[in-house]
Amino acid sequence: MNWYLLGIGIYILLLIGVSIYASKKVKTGEDFDLAGRSLPFWLLSFTFAGLWFGGGTVIGTTGVAFEYGLWDTEAAWGVIPDPYGAGLCLILAGLFYFSTLRRMGGVTLADFFTARFGKSAGLLSTLVMIFGWTFFVSAQIVVFGKIFNSILGWSYNWSIWIGMILVVLYTIAGGLWSVALTDMIQMIIILIGIVVAVPVGLNAVGGLSEIKAILPEGMLSFTPTFNPDISAIGRWMPWLSGWMIIGLGSIASPDITQVAQAGISDRDVKKASITAGLIYWFFGSLVVLLGLIGAALVSKGVITLEMMNGDSELIMPVMIQQLFPLPIAVLFVSAILAAVMSSADGALLALSTLFSRNILPFFRKEKLDDKTELRYSRLVVVIFAIVTTVIGIGYPHAFLLMNFGFDSLLAGLFVPLTLAIYWKGATAKGFFAGVISGILVRVILSGFIEGWSFETVMYPEKWYIYTMIAPLVNLLFMVAVSLIDRDKEIKYNER
């Protein structure tokens, strides 16, 4: 008997049961999108944390920690974006953004831009969010393929399609109620799995002291290390950019805004977001530790590189099979799938809501009734799931897909969102100038300079230059155009 398959099957049946229960609460489009705006503090906390504690973290982050450590100054890469930038985002969003976004009473972040700058601005912001978020969902789907392929021996392509079908089935059943309730279960399983896995891994490698003795000192440095061949700017600019990718970029992500709108009160939402950020930092650090344990085990010869087929993101599945007793291994495989599903369901729902609420109205003059809106929302979940699966098949790198999605939001929407909230002088023309210029720098300019391929656009050789400059160019254009626009308006009014 394949105990992995049995454990996964039991877990999936549990999710189906929860989704069936959640579906009974869904009567209207708002129930599907916002869970009736009735999520309490404790459920919000699980949902906020579960949205991002997904495959990109459990598989992608362990792979990066395994290959680069905390921060590799020479490679200009490490685990700063996730989990540390991701946790920072949840805290900043709770402190400075959610209260204002909730006051406007919409559902999506695009609703806020529509209220602030007009329908066309809402449409542009929707297109940017859909673009960036498609890659984030693809990152989660990639992990399905890697887990089922590595653990169960199924082909990667078949595995990724099966994973997509599973997520779609329970997401379309209960909408945000399904996402919130399953995220609670999934986060509990994730946290139990991580807490159990860390001591097992430490025992196998010989403890923290052994990790420090085996791994290069640079792999264990949280900040850039001195390198005479790299200038101070060359050391610190990538590190700061690493914090920005998710720490700032994901503040403009559609899923956390949607969840924030579903909370009972501003106070609950603020507390839940900050709590989720702290939870993310703590358990994300344990995930990083598992990646370092994997690197130490390879150095000791307990695990070989051949076992991973040249893919550092397979270190976690290999460790599970090589180190853990079967019951713990089954638990942890279920925990990884829980992490994937907890992110993929919320992200797919956010894409669906954006499309049905902020794009469809441009093609239909009459307002959709509740049943029609609900039907469209469920249909769009399926469509985006297929698109993201195709991307995941073509580019199977979870961590890079995830970070490129957030980097796109950083380039296009972080500055406009912040100025729209805190600067009354921001105008619609300034918004368009900022968004378009930021996206051009991050996506188009990198393509022209680095070459047109998935690899070079998502992760250019000097990725941090585009990450840092794109929002600055966005800021420059938005402020300049807004000031010019307001000056023209004042002069016109004086006449």
Residue-wise pLDDT for 441-479, tens only, equals 998 888 888 888 878 888 888 899 999 999 999 999 999
Q: Give residues with Cβ within 8 angstroms of 121, minimum separation 6.
A: 113, 114, 428, 431, 432
Per DSSP, the three-state class of 166 is helix
Q: Cβ(142)–Cβ(344) under 8 Å?
A: no
Are 90 and 48 contacting, i.e. CB atoms less than 8 angstroms apart? yes
Backbone angles phi and psi of 38, in degrees to 5: -135, 20
The 3-state DSSP class for residue 78 equals strand
Rounded to the nearest 10 degrees, the angle between the axes of helix 254-261 and helix 156-205 is 80
Determine the pLDDT at residue 36: 55
3-state helix, strand, coil in the chain (%, to 5): 80, 0, 15
Calculate the alpha carbon distances from 170 to 39, 253, 257, 401 in Å: 19, 22, 21, 24
Residue type, 78: G
Q: Is the pTM of this model over 0.75?
A: yes
AA letter at 255? D
Rounded Cα gap, residues 218 and 202, in angstroms: 20
Q: Indicate the burial class of 136 (C-beta count within 10 angstroms; 0-12, 13-18, 19 or more).
A: buried
For each of the chain's 495 residues, which pLDDT tens digit applies? Answer: 577 788 777 777 776 676 666 555 555 555 454 455 667 888 888 878 877 777 778 888 999 999 999 999 999 999 999 999 999 999 999 999 999 998 876 778 899 999 999 999 999 999 999 999 899 889 888 888 888 888 888 888 888 888 888 777 766 655 555 566 666 776 777 788 888 889 999 999 999 999 999 999 889 999 999 888 899 999 999 999 999 999 999 999 887 887 888 788 899 999 999 999 999 999 999 999 999 999 999 999 989 888 888 889 999 889 988 888 888 788 778 777 766 776 776 677 778 778 877 887 777 666 666 677 667 777 888 888 899 899 989 888 888 898 899 999 999 999 999 999 999 999 999 999 999 999 999 988 888 888 888 788 888 888 999 999 999 999 999 999 999 987 665 544 444
What are 334-389's pLDDT values in tens digits?
Answer: 777 766 776 776 677 778 778 877 887 777 666 666 677 667 777 888 888 899 89
d(CA 140, CA 130): 15
Residues in the chain: 495
**Ramachandran angles phi, psi of 78, nearest 5°:** 175, -160
**pLDDT given at position 492:** 41
Query: What tokens does 432 get?
Result: 């368009």
Q: Which domains does the chain have, with CATH numbers?
A: 3-398 (1.20.1730.10)
The predicted structure's pLDDT at residue 144: 83
Residue 40 CB-half CA count within 13 A: 3
> What sign has the CA pseudo-torsion 272, 164, 137, 65?
positive
117 neighbors 393 (Cβ within 8 angstroms): no
The predicted structure's pLDDT at residue 16: 67
pLDDT of residue 434: 98
Q: In whole angstroms, give the CA distance from residue 462 to residue 475.
A: 21
Residue 99, token pair as written in the block = 């209260």
- DSSP, residue by residue, 9-34: HHHHHHHHHHHHHHHTT--SHHHHHH
Backbone dihedral angles phi then psi of residue 39, each to the nearest 5 degrees:
-75, 130
> Whose structure tokens read 């307002």?
367
- The angle, 0 to 180 degrees and rounded to 10, between the axes of the packed helices 254-261 and 86-96 is 40
Q: What are the start-end ranges of the H helices in 359-462?
A: 370-394, 398-409, 415-422, 428-439, 446-450, 454-458
What's residue 115's pLDDT?
92
Identify the CA nearest to 449 among candidates 433, 466, 436. Answer: 466
Which regions of 33-98 does DSSP assign to beta strands (E)?
71-72, 77-78
H or E stretch covering 71:
strand 71-72
| Phi and psi at residue 138, to the nearest 5° | -60, -40
- From the list 489, 158, 189, the residue with the least C-alpha distance to 339 is 189
The CA distance from 183 to 169, in Å, is: 15
The amino acid present at 183, given as its one-letter code, is D
CB 126 within 8 A of CB 359: yes
For residues 294 and 65, give the distance between their C-alpha atoms in angstroms, rounded to a whole number. Answer: 9
Q: Which amino acid is at 50?
A: G
Nearest to 54 by CA among 133, 121, 111, 113: 133
Q: Are 254 and 354 in contact (CB under 8 A)?
A: yes
